[in-house]
Structure 1
Amino acid sequence: MEYIRDYAMYVSVFGMFSFVWFGWAQERPRPSWRIYIGIASGIALLLCLTGVYLSITNWDAPSALNEVSAYRNYLISFYAECIVAGAGAFVLTRWKRKEYIAPWVAFIVGLHFIGLKSVFDDPSLWILAALMVAVSIAAVVVSPKLQVANSAITGIGAGTVLFGFAMLGLKRFMAAMM
Structure 2
Amino acid sequence: MDKNIKILIPEALPEWTDRIHNGPMKEVWNGDNDNLPTLELTPPQKGLKSEFIDGAWYWVVGCEKCLGSSKGWDYFVCDEHNICIDCKTNRSEVIGTVWGTKGGFRCDPCQTALSLKLKREALEKVASDDYDEWDYKQNDEIVCPHCASSYEPDEPSDGKETCDICGGEYELEIEYSVTYSTTVVGERITLDLLENE
TM range (shorter): under 0.3
Q: Which has the higher contact order (CA 8 A, sep 6+)?
A: 1
Q: Which one has a larger percent strand, Structure 1 or Structure 2?
A: 2
- Give the TM-score, by structure 2 length: 0.20
Q: Which one has a larger percent helix, Structure 1 or Structure 2?
A: 1
